Structures are given as C-alpha cells and as structure tokens.
Amino acid sequence: MPAAELLVTPTFNLLPPVFGYILAGILGALIGSFLNVVIHRLPREESIVFPNSRCPSCGAAIAFYDNIPILSYAVLKGACRGCKKHISARYPLVELLCALLFVAVAWHDGLSAALPFDFAFAAALLALVFIDAEHMLLPNAITYPGIVFAVVARLVVPYLTATPHFDDLPSLAHGALANSPIWLTSIVGGFLGALIGGGSLWLMGWTWEKLRGIEAMGLGDVKMMFMVGAYLGWRLTILTIFVGVLSGSVIGILLMARAGRKDMQMLLPFGVFLGLGAIAALLFGSQVAEWYAGQFR
C-alpha cells in the first residue's frame, strides 16, 4: 500500500450523530465540574487552580474517583466520604446542566469550528448565573476576559466556518458594510451589540436611580451585557434583554407577592435572568428573530 493512502483522513461523519452528542455531554459534565470550582472560589477570591478539590466542610482533599461528575455525588449519596457532611446539590446540578447545555449547543452548531467558541461562551454564562444567584455579583474575572474572548471570536470564527455563524453578519453584510472585509463587518457587529447590550443596561440602571434615588443595578450587569452583546450581535442582544426583563419581572412579582412586599425594594440578581436569556438567544434566537422579521415582510 502506498504511504499516501495511509494518510487519508478518516471520515468522522460515518460515526452516528448520537456519538457526537454523548461526547458533548461528557465534555459538558467535565467542564461543569470545573465551573463548580469557579463558582465556589471566584467570589471568595481563592485560586481556581490550587489547591485540588476539597470538602467544603472538613477540608479533606477529594480523591479523583470521588470527583467524577454527577456519578460520584449519586454513589456517595451527596455526603463527604470523610466527614459524612451533606454536600450541596448545586454540584451535580451544575454538572448536569452544563452537560445538557453542551448537548444543546452541539445540536445547534453541528460539527462546526465555531463549536468550542460557543461552548466557552455558554460555560461562562452558566458560571455567571450561579455566582449571581448566590452572591448578587458578576465578577470582573469572568466578564473582562469574556469581552476579550468575544472580540477574538468575532475576528477569528468567520474565517473558520463556512457559514457566517454570527447571527448579525448576513444583515450587516447586505447593508452599509457590503464592501468591507468580513473581519471588519464582524467586529463592527460586535461593537454594535456591545453598545446596545451594555448601553441599555446602563440606561436602565441610571433611569431607576434617578426615579427612586437608589442604586438598582450594579456595573456587573453592564459589563456582562457588553460581553454578551459583542458575542451575540444586536438582534440576539435585544432578545436577551427582552427575555431577561420579562422573566425577571415575572419571578420578581411572584417573589414579592409571596413575601407580601409591595415596595419594589427587593433586589433580584438580574444577571441570572440575563444569563438565561443569553443562553436562550444563543440556542433559539436566530429562528425567533427570523420569525419576527417575517411578520413585517
């Protein structure tokens, strides 16, 4: 056999798609396990690489065989092997959610060079959602690198994929930017999305502050939406804010009704709802935007 024939690249599409989804799910569970470390340690300003995973109660190092995503929690029945103290159900929940999220992203993207970028974006959102839910905080340690990541993705991804990938690129490429190189169109789209995302959140906070004289929204939400807007583009950013405000209002009103409060002073972790909105926009936004645009054609 000539040597050249040995170098023929294997055809991966012969593998059944189900195998790809299983791989995506396993990767998601592993990344979810890492996100647990990020979610626990970042707000406490601890290093996320050192030391190894420890029991939050007794501090005993967790052996690798007790650190298998989802499975170890089930085997150990949610208790530390050493001190038998209960371990928060958040740990397997984050792992399971991240696994499902990665399967959904793989379903959305298919076998695309954009897949690792969408995985990273979705994982960052999941970490922000859980940190904001617990601490009412969206750490700069995620949002700042997230903004840089979005800019890099904007420059690189259109050259890696056959389709434009970013939702806003087709509309921008037909407009004023028709004769621009794709990287310029892409970066302008990212800037526009960041301006709409960060700008509208800043405006909401500013208006609320003027009306009520209290600081309602932290700059964390603004920075988070700067990152989301730069990555998703203007259409999906508007959708993200719509879903975030709507779901946040509904949950907020329900919580206030339950607590018997009518003064609107109850603070909600808005980043949770914006994060869920951004995940929904990433997965289903393009279809929703197309459907909506179709109503006016």
Residues of this chain that interact with Zn ion (CB under 5 A) are 55, 57-58, 80, 82-83
Distance (Å) of CA 47 to CA 43, 54, 164, 242, 256 = 10, 13, 37, 35, 37
Q: Which is nearer to Zn ion, 36 or 240 (CB)?
A: 36
Residue closer to Zn ion, measured from CB, 48 or 83: 83
Count Cα atoms within 13 angstroms, Cβ side, for 163: 10
- State the nearest-atom distance from the C-beta of 46 to Zn ion, in Å: 17
Alpha-carbon 135 to chain mean position? 18
Report the SS3 class of residue 61.
strand
Nearer to Zn ion, 46 or 290 (CB): 46
Nearer to Zn ion, 80 or 274 (CB): 80
Give least dist CB 76 to Zn ion, A. Answer: 10
Please, what is the minimum distance in Å from the beta carbon of residue 60 to Zn ion?
5
Give the nearest distance from C-beta 271 to Zn ion in angstroms. Answer: 30
Tally Cβ neighbours within 10 Å of residue 264.
12
Nearer to Zn ion, 81 or 135 (CB): 81
Nearest distance from C-beta of residue 134 to Zn ion, angstroms: 20
Residue 36: CB atoms within 10 A of its CB come to 23
- With a CB cutoff of 8 Å and minimum separation 6, the contacts of 52 are 61, 62
CA atoms within 13 Å, Cβ hemisphere of 77: 3
